[in-house]
Amino acid sequence: MSKLILVVEDQEDNRRILRDLLTNSGYEVIEAVNGLDGVSSAETYRPDLILMDIQLPGIDGYEATRQIKANPDLNKIPIIAVTSYALSGDDQKAFVAGCDDYVTKPFSPRELLAKIRDYLP
Amino acid sequence: MNNTYSSTPASKIRSVSRRFSYAFIGVVTLILILFATAAIIIDSSRINAELEKRLDNALKLSYISLPAPLWNLDNDVVDDFIEALFLDESIVFAEVVWGNQVISKRVRQKFQQKDASYFRQSSQFIDKISNILYEGNKVGTIRLAMSRESVKKELIVTILGIIALTILIIIAIALTSLIITKKYISRPLLKLQESASLIAHGDLNTFIDKSSSDEIGLLAQHLDDMRESIKQLFSELSESKEKIEDYSRTLEQKVEVRTQALARSVEELKALGDVSQVVSSTLDLETVLANIARHAVQLSKTDAGTIYEFDEDAQVFVPRINHGVSEAFIEALHESGLRIGDKTVIGQAALNRAPDQVPDLVNVPDYPLSYVHQAGFRALLAVPLLRKDRLIGGLVVRRKTAGEFPAPVVDLIQTFAAQSVLAIHNARLFREVEEKSRQLEAADKHKSEFLANMSHELRTPLNAILGYTELILDNIYGDIPEKIQEVLERLEQNGRHLLGLINDVLDLSKIEAGQLTLSLSEYSLGELVQTVSASVEALASEKNLELRVNVPADLTIGKGDEQRIAQVLLNLLGNAIKFTEEGDVRVEVVVSNQTFLVSVSDTGLGLSEADQKRIFEEFQQVDGSSTRIKGGTGLGLAIAKRIVEMHGGRIWVESTLGKGSTFWFTLPVSVEHQKESR
């Protein structure tokens, strides 16, 4: 049974790239377009991994991560933050919010895939 | 006059007349004694001669009287004759001898026992022997001795008489001379001395007796002349003295006036200094103006003062600071809404742009502000506050006593006005600066927000472009022809270049805005060098370049921003590989003196001296055209320099054109505080 990955991303193109990349690699992908949507999708689908964009409309990625990690049923799900490059402290903020790892945008699909495989062997 | 001129005590005086008398008497006495002695000597020899003459006479008498008796042997006659001779008291011995026979002999009773030889030998006596001849035949010898005794007595009487006479004469002369000198010398001299003493004591009107016609009279005359001269001198002196006293009195008054003026100046200077100090040290306008108003009132010896600020929009004077007036008065000033050209001192001063004063309000019954007079003020002085011909306010002082304000006071108030202008201007400038810096701060915040947003906005589509390209290249959307693959690779390269540009611009902007903060933590430079080298290993081997890393195994742990240091090293290594076609690239680290020294050397193109200087500036690359081919933004070294400097280090390059370059940078082993870059 293939693993389920939740992609929380407001950008259509980015969602599509991730979807194409991950689907092609054999993962099942569900998508959310904002923070609140991301939290409810996590509760509904209980994915095996979450790719969390940080800059999102409504509640941002940090807040969404905090809410998900606050849920005992969901706090085991690895969350990889997708942060903007060089905005100082973004990585730190991501870890503080509860993210397990992070990649900076723009990411190389190949590198991202490698990172995902670390969590979903 | 004091006792300096008092006469010497009488006991010490040796009277001139007495000294003269003594000398005179002494000389006279000496002369008299000499005369007396001479007289005595002469007299005694005369007496001796007389004695001898008497003896001779007695002998002569014998010659006459004795021959016959002797011839006749008439001894009695001889005896009688001797008897007769003895009537002369002086004759003490007489003897008439014929052969050995004494015919007659007689000796004075007194010398009965003596014989002839005694008389012959003693000096007390004169003795003479004579032969007595009778018709040429010797008939006997007569020997006579005469005593000098009687003569001696006579001589003594004579000498005593001479001495007595001499003494008498001496006494007479002494008395006379004493009297004469006393009368003609001593007394006039004493009188003169008294007069001189009186003159010496300051009595210049002393009478001096000049009646005498002798030398003393002359002396008196001269003394009197001297007294007259002194008197004149004194009168001249006292005149001069009065003049001098007069002059010094005037001088004292002048000095007093000057001193007061000076004290006033000093006071003014002190006040101005105080005011200047406050103006320059305080930006609180209220404090400054209050200080100015207080000093202005105090120094101009007035009772109240107001500093107005001119409200250009409302065209009225607004009292900003008041000194020495009631709240009601201030209220009234506010309500009066004073304007340029009003018939008030401030209105006129503002209109004429010059000081204006009212010496006495009593003389200006129609003065617009009746409450000023009612508050007890009589004299007013206003000075406009002008800044480069622009009216910014006014300074008014009020006095409760009438009278014109003298020029120095007007000057003083103008000086204070100038200080007020400065203070108001400073405060306005400060307000402007504050406003500007608030705006700047806001602009800065906007800028950094804009940069953050722009970076995100630029990256989002770029992310998509690069993402899709990579997916296509990975054949996720199916196999692609080789020709398209090549183009797609160029597309990806350019996309990554664009991304690098965006990142570098963002970094530099953040550094320039002071927004880049180093996150200082412990790091291992050895590991960092290994990691960075590993990440460029592929690039190097692609170009067949050898990458040598030489890091001491026991390199100390440092403190700094690991990510940023990695960025610097990556940039230098990337450049080295990029610009080297063959040979090797070496990274070396040494540590000394608590400083890491990192070098990145290559065997590439090298840099000209001019390029070495410019290389760390923004958008500088050795060959502008190579930028695109070689990749890189031209910002990497500029950013590296900033990062090194923020760590307190230094970066430089040594290079020979055509032979390669070595980039060096230092880092303090332990960076505790971020330094300023540029």
The string of pLDDT tens digits covering residues B327-380 is: 999 999 889 888 998 899 999 999 999 999 999 999 988 888 889 888 899 999
On whether the CB atoms of residues B410 and B360 are closer than 8 A, the answer is no
**Phi, psi at B677, each rounded to 5°:** -105, 125
CA–CA dist B509, B603 (Å, integer)? 33
For residue A2, the model assigns a pLDDT of 86
Contact assignment for A14 to B466 by CB distance below 8 Å:
no
Asked if A106 and B516 come within 8 Å (Cβ–Cβ), the reply is no
In the numeric block, which tokens belong to residue A13?
């193109």
- C-beta of residue B62 within 8 angstroms of C-beta of residue B132: yes
Put simply, whether A118 touches B (Cβ < 8 Å) is no
- Identify the pLDDT of residue B2: 44
What pLDDT is stored for residue B499 in this prediction? 84
- B195 vs B185: CA distance, rounded Å: 15
Question: Which uninterrupted H or E stretch holds B167?
Answer: helix B149-181
Instruction: From chain A, pick out residues whose CB is under 8 angstroms from the CB of B471.
Output: 17, 20-21, 24, 109
Residue B432 or residue B71, greater confidence = B432
Q: What is the pLDDT of residue B366?
A: 87
Q: Give B549 or B513, the one with higher predicted confidence.
A: B549
The minimum CA-CA distance between A19 and chain B, rounded to whole Å, is 11
Q: Terminal CA-to-CA distance of chain A, rounded, Å?
A: 13
| Residue where the block lists tokens 């939290």 | A39
Task: State in Å, rounded, how far the first CA of chain B is from the last one.
Answer: 90
How far apart CA B363 and CA B354 sit, in angstroms, is: 22
Q: Which residues pair with B437 in a beta bridge?
A: none
Pairing of strands B558-560, A4-8: unpaired
Q: Check CB contact under 8 Å for A87 and B455.
A: yes
Torsion angle defined by CA atoms of residues B229, B234, B239 and B240, in that order, rounded to the nearest 10 degrees: 100
The mean of the pLDDT values for chain B is: 84
Sequence letter at residue B229: S
Query: Starting from the edge strand earliest in sequence, which strands make up the sheet with B660-668, in order?
Result: B546-550, B584-592, B595-602, B660-668, B651-656
Identify which of B420, B206, B222 has the alpha carbon closest to the alpha carbon of residue B305: B420
Nearest CA in chain B to A54: B456
Chain B contacts of A84, Cβ < 8 Å?
452, 455-456, 459
Dihedral sign computed on CA atoms, order B493, B494, B495, B497: positive
Identify which of B452, B464, B470 has the shortest CB distance to residue A108: B470
Whether residue B88 is predicted with pLDDT greater than 90 in this model: the reply is no
Would you state the pLDDT for residue B677?
Answer: 65
Consecutive H or E run containing B219: helix B215-281
Instruction: Please report, for residues A20, A62, B367, B475, B484, the alpha-carbon distance to residue B472 in angstroms, rounded to integers and kept in the order given.
Output: 10, 32, 95, 5, 10
Tell me what pLDDT residue B457 has: 76
Considering chain B, what percentage of its residues have pLDDT values greater than 90? 22
In Å, how far is B664's CA from the nearest CA of chain A? 26
CA B214 to chain centroid, in Å, comes to: 65
Over the stretch B537-596, which tens digit does the pLDDT of each residue have?
Answer: 988 998 999 999 999 988 899 999 988 999 999 999 998 998 888 899 999 999 988 999
CB atoms within 10 A of CB B119: 22
CA distances from B216 to B17, B101, B185, B186, B219 (A): 13, 86, 7, 10, 5
Give the Cα separation of B379 and B372 in Å (integer). Answer: 10
Cβ-contact A79, A98 below 8 angstroms: yes
Q: What's the DSSP call for residue B482? A: H
C-alpha pair distances (Å), B223 with each of B15, B185, B220: 20, 16, 5
Query: Nearest by CB to A84, which of B459, B477, B519?
Result: B459
The domain made up of A4-119 has a fold known as Rossmann fold (3.40.50)
**DSSP element (H, E) containing A104:** strand A101-105
Q: Name every chain A residue with its beta carbon within 8 A of the beta carbon of B506.
A: 85-86
Token representation of residue A107: 């990411």
Residue pLDDT, tens place only, B607-639: 888 888 888 877 655 554 444 344 456 778 888
B75-79 contacts, C-beta under 8 A, 24 or more apart: B75/B103, B75/B104, B78/B103, B78/B104, B79/B104, B79/B106
In the predicted structure, residue B197 carries a pLDDT above the cut 70 = yes
Tokens describing residue B194: 């008294």
Q: Given an 8 Å threshold on Cβ–Cβ distance, is B455 in contact with A88?
A: no
Q: Treating both helix axes as pointing N-terminal to C-terminal, what angle do A109-119 and B407-473 enclose, rounded to 10 degrees?
A: 80
pLDDT tens-place string over residues B117-140 = 787 777 778 888 888 888 888 888
Q: Is the pLDDT of residue B31 over 70?
A: yes
Please answer yes or no on whether A106 and B462 come within 8 Å at the CB atom. Answer: yes
| Beta strands, E only, B365-408 | 379-387, 390-399
Nearest to A11 among B460, B499, B510 (CB): B460
Of B461, B476, B515, the CB nearest to A21: B476
pLDDT: is A85 or B424 the higher one?
Answer: B424
In whole angstroms, give the CA distance from residue B139 to residue B71: 6
Each residue's pLDDT tens digit, B158-187: 778 888 888 888 888 878 888 887 787 778
Q: Which residues contact B486 (CB under 8 A, 6 or more apart)?
A: none
B209 has a pLDDT exceeding 90 = no
Instruction: Say if the Cβ atoms of A11 and B466 lie within 8 Å.
Output: no
Helix (H, G, I), strand (E, B) or coil at B400: coil
The residue in chain A having the minimum alpha-carbon distance to the alpha carbon of residue B457 is: A84
Q: Does A1 touch chain B (CB under 8 A)?
A: no
Question: Across the interface, do B474 and A17 touch by the CB < 8 Å criterion?
Answer: no
User: Which residue is listed with tokens 């009197």?
Assistant: B224
- Cβ distance A20 to B464 less than 8 Å, yes or no, reads no
| Chain A with chain B: Cβ pairs closer than 8 A | 67
**Cis ω for the linkage preceding B9 (within 30 of 0):** no
What is the band of B5 on the pLDDT scale with cuts at 50, 70, 90?
very low
User: With a cut of 0.90, is the ipTM above it?
Assistant: no
Residue B13: per-residue pLDDT: 57
A26 touches chain B (CB under 8 A): no
Taking contacts as CB-CB distances below 8 angstroms, the residues of chain B near A114 are none
Contact B151, B101 (CB under 8 A): no
Q: Which residues of B touch A89 (CB under 8 A)?
A: 519
pLDDT for position B563: 86
Task: Collapse the DSSP code of B663 into the 3-class scheme (helix H, G, I; strand E, B; otherwise coil) and give the result.
Answer: strand
Question: Is A104 touching B (CB cutoff 8 A)?
Answer: no
Inter-helix orientation angle A90-97/A61-70, to 10°: 20
Q: With an 8 Å Cβ cutoff, are B519 and A86 in contact?
A: no
- Angle (nearest 5°) at CA B643 between B658 and B446: 125
Give B380-405 pLDDT, tens digit per residue: 999 999 988 899 999 999 999 999 99
Among A36, A65, A90, CA closest to B459: A90
Query: How does pLDDT run across B266-276, given as a tens digit for each residue?
Result: 877 787 787 77
The pLDDT value recorded for residue A85 is 54
The answer to whether the CB of A17 falls within 8 A of the CB of B467 is yes
CB-count exposure of residue B86 (10 Å: 0-12, 13-18, 19+): middle
Compare CB distances from B471 to A21, A105, A106 and report the shortest one's residue: A21
Residue pointed to by tokens 């010497």: B8
**What is the DSSP code string of B309-361?**
EEETTTTEEEEEEEES--HHHHHHHHHH---TT-SSHHHHHHHHTS-EEES-G
Tokens of B105: 């002999």
Contacts of B463 in chain A (CB under 8 A): 11, 13-14, 17, 105-107
> Is B470's CB within 8 Å of A24's CB?
no
Tell me whether residues B464 and A109 touch, CB distance under 8 A. Answer: no
Q: Which residue(s) pair with B310 in the sheet?
A: B317
**Whole-Å CA distances, B440 to A69, B425, B435, B436, B443:** 41, 22, 8, 6, 5
Find the mean pLDDT for residues B452-462.
Answer: 76
A21–B contact, CB cutoff 8 A: yes
Mean local confidence (pLDDT), B62-91: 82
Mean pLDDT of B492-521: 80
In this prediction, residue B675 carries a pLDDT of 82
Give the mean pLDDT of B220-229: 84
pLDDT confidence of residue B4? 43
Q: CB distance A88–B463 less than 8 Å?
A: no
The pLDDT of residue B665 is: 95
**To probe the interface with A, which of B457, B469, B471 has the most A CB atoms within 10 Å?**
B471
- Reported as a single tens digit per residue, the pLDDT across A18-66 is 999 999 989 999 999 999 999 999 999 999 999 999 888 889 899 999 9
b/e for B405-415, b at 16 or more Cβ within 10 A? beeebbebbbb
All residues of chain B having their beta carbon less than 8 Å from the beta carbon of residue A108 are 466, 470
pLDDT of residue A43: 94
